[in-house]
Amino acid sequence: MLLVDDRAIRRLNKVYLNHDRPTDVLAFPQQQGLPSPQPHLLGDVVISVETAARQAKEHDHSLAHEVALLLIHGILHLVGYDDSTPATRRRMWTEQARLLAISSKPGS
């Protein structure tokens, strides 16, 4: 996981996805379509702390909670989840909420 500011994530978003704007999280698979020589290595998750802080304030929870949510979201992308349609978004967000609840339990 890499924590960056809005300027850095905007640059990555433009270079890799051709979106000239900051975003909250980006996920970069280690190797698209090919088996990884290191199967335990999924890829990289990049999170904008600036955007995460704004979103945490908007949703009235802590920055740590928002970063955990974004990390889970990014990892789900790395393992094949998609949020480009309403149906796939619902499926992804359901799994995201389930994993966040597990990670928030005492002793986790």
Query: pLDDT band for position 33 (50/70/90)?
Result: low
Q: According to the model, what pLDDT value does residue 105 have?
A: 74
Query: pLDDT band for position 95 (50/70/90)?
Result: very high
Question: Which run of H or of E encompasses 76?
Answer: helix 63-78
Taking residues 72-84, what's their average pLDDT?
94
Classify 83 as helix, strand or coil. coil
Count of structural domains, the chain:
1
Is the pLDDT at 50 greater than 80? The verdict is: yes
CATH number at residue 59: 3.40.390.30
Question: Which run of H or of E encompasses 86?
Answer: helix 86-104
Q: According to the model, what pLDDT value does residue 67 have?
A: 97
Q: According to the model, what pLDDT value does residue 108 have?
A: 57
Taking residues 72-83, what's their average pLDDT?
95
**DSSP assignment of 3-72, as one string?**
EE-HHHHHHHHHHHH---S--SEEEEESSTTS--SSTT--EEEEEEHHHHHHHHHHTTS-HHHHHHHHHH
Question: Which residue is associated with the tokens 């992308």?
Answer: 77
Across the beta sheet with 43-48, what order do the strands follow? 2-4, 43-48, 25-29
Question: Which residue is associated with the tokens 């900051």?
Answer: 22
As given in the structure block, the two tokens for residue 74 are 């990014």
Residue 29 lies in domain? 2-104
